[in-house]
Amino acid sequence: MDKITLSRMQFFGNHGVFPEENKLGQRFYVDVELVLPLDKPGRSDALEDTVNYGEVFFRVKDIVEGKTFKLIEALAENIASELLHHYTSINEVTVRVIKPHPPFAVLFDGVTVEINRKQA
């Protein structure tokens, strides 16, 4: 199946279990893979025959920057649900949320949650 992938979208959000995370916020990275047929837009060269990835970016931005979640698992689930609900041409979506600086004293580059959901 064909895919549209939006990689390393950067947003500032207030997600986390600790109150200071909700107050101060931090940067998050989000990857979204959309599985959908791209043969029709490939032939027609028409935006209305595909998913507008600029619009997808702003939908994800609204969720990451406009809501607060304790868990990045819940953030990923909300993004996947919104995209599948709004774009019925998407058969499947994979969402990766990366929290590059978790608030505890260990040395690693971050935490990533990846979920995969299919159209009902």
Which residues are the active-site residues?
A: 99
Cα 89 to Cα 93, 100, 107: the distances in Å are 11, 32, 41
CB 88 within 8 A of CB 118: no
Backbone angles phi, psi at 45, to 5 degrees: 60, 35
Rg (CA), the chain: 15
Question: Which residue has 């064909």 as its token pair?
Answer: 2
Residue of 32, 31, 30, 20 lying closest to 102 (CA atoms): 20
